[in-house]
Amino acid sequence: MLATTIAFTGVNGIVRHLGTDLPAAQSAFIRFGFGLMLLGPALLTLPRNRFPPPVLRLFLWRGALHVVAVLFWFHAMARVPVAEMAAIGFLNPVIVLVIAGVMLREGLNARRGLAVLVALAGAMVVLRPGLREVTQGHLSQLAATLCFAMSYLVAKRLSALAPAAVVVAMMTVTVTLGLAPLAWWTWQPVRVDQLLWLALVAALATFGHYAMTRAFRAAPLAVTQPVTFLQLIWATLLGATVFGEAVDGFVLLGGAMIVGAISVNAWIEARRSRNPPPPVIAP
């Protein structure tokens, strides 16, 4: 998950650099098109996999959720500072933690509930709704965050049903096909440098998704998701050093609240996994 945060921060910086010269659907389509090329060996193994219809439906659901998410995300990334994008994205693991506790039956006890509340309070400190303007870019990132969270939950389920490379490959195929008609509708001429940047985006994002899927297989979401909050550090440094964005004290304060709440929960989860309770013997 640490490698995932670094890779995704690189993706954020490149898309921020590209700006609004290309439509969001076209940029996303080119990125996933390059992803298909990178995943060539994994794609060759897909015909040999005989997944039952329920698993295939999960692949399609994840693809549909990711299409919507990346469209919102590409639109927002060119309009919102890097650190704020990361801060809003912090709602992703909070949503994942809540839904996983209910739908995936990983548990949502009082301790996890308190961690979620403190993390949400930290997110509100970062966003400060009512004290400043909430732009179209902010709303777009909020929508992307919700869709990404739902997509990650499907990925968590798929990680137990298929190899990590296959999960990433199927996501890339379904998203590319879903974006194709939207990209064609808004297509504009593309420069060579834009293609090269988007190829690097594809490489970083593909690696990030693969590392994330491996992490999902290795540990519960309650343990893996808190690590994603380190992306605040990388995003703040990137925004300040590369894009000249001011370091917002509220972003750091809110991020510290989020990191503290979820990290304490993760530490307790890790201790309990090392020292499991004695088994209950049925009468």
The mean per-residue pLDDT over the stretch 24-44 comes to 85
Q: What are residue 3's DSSP bridge partners?
A: none
- Predicted confidence at residue 97, as pLDDT, reads 75
Torsion sign over Cα 105, 111, 115, 118? positive
Under 8 Å between Cβ of 94 and 116: yes
Domain boundaries, the chain: 2-273
Q: Is 92 helix (H, G, I), strand (E, B) or coil?
A: helix
Per-residue pLDDT at 248 exceeds 90: no
**Cβ-based neighbours of 181, under 8 Å, separated by 6 or more:** none
Question: DSSP state, 80?
Answer: S
- pLDDT mean over 38-67: 82
Q: What are phi and psi of 132, to 5 degrees?
A: -155, 170
DSSP tally for the chain: helices H, then strands E: 13, 0
CB 73 within 8 A of CB 141: yes
Mean pLDDT on 66-73: 92
Report how far residue 229's alpha carbon sits from residue 251's, in angstroms, rounded to the nearest whole number.
12
d(CA 104, CA 19): 38
Choice between 239 and 258, residue whose per-residue pLDDT is larger:
239
3-class DSSP state of 283: coil
pLDDT level of residue 83 (50, 70, 90 thresholds): confident
- When the pLDDT of each residue in the chain is averaged and rounded to a whole number, the result is 82
Give bridge partners of residue 132 from the DSSP assignment. Answer: 129
* CA distances from residue 150 to 186, 258, 269 in whole angstroms, order as listed: 27, 20, 22
How does DSSP assign 189-250, residue by residue?
A: ---HHHHHHHHHHHHHHHHHHHHHHHHHHHS-HHHHGGGGGGHHHHHHHHHHHTS-----HH
Name the band, by pLDDT with cuts 50, 70 and 90, for residue 273: low
Contact 203, 146 (CB under 8 A): no
CB 121 within 8 A of CB 257: yes
Per-residue pLDDT of 209-218, as tens digits, reads 788 878 877 8
Mean pLDDT across 141-160? 87
Q: What is the pLDDT of residue 221?
A: 63
pLDDT the model gives residue 7: 93
pLDDT at 28 over 50: yes
For the residues 34-54, what does the mean pLDDT come to?
77
Flag the least confident range among 10-24, 98-112, 121-135: 98-112
- pLDDT digits over 126-144, tens only? 777 766 677 888 889 889 9
CB neighbour burial string for 108-143, b if at least 16 within 10 angstroms, e if fewer: beeebeebbebbbebbebbbeeeeeeeeebbebbbb
Percent of the chain residues past pLDDT 70, beyond the cut: 88
Q: Give residue 199's pLDDT band: very low, low, confident or very high (50, 70, 90).
A: very high
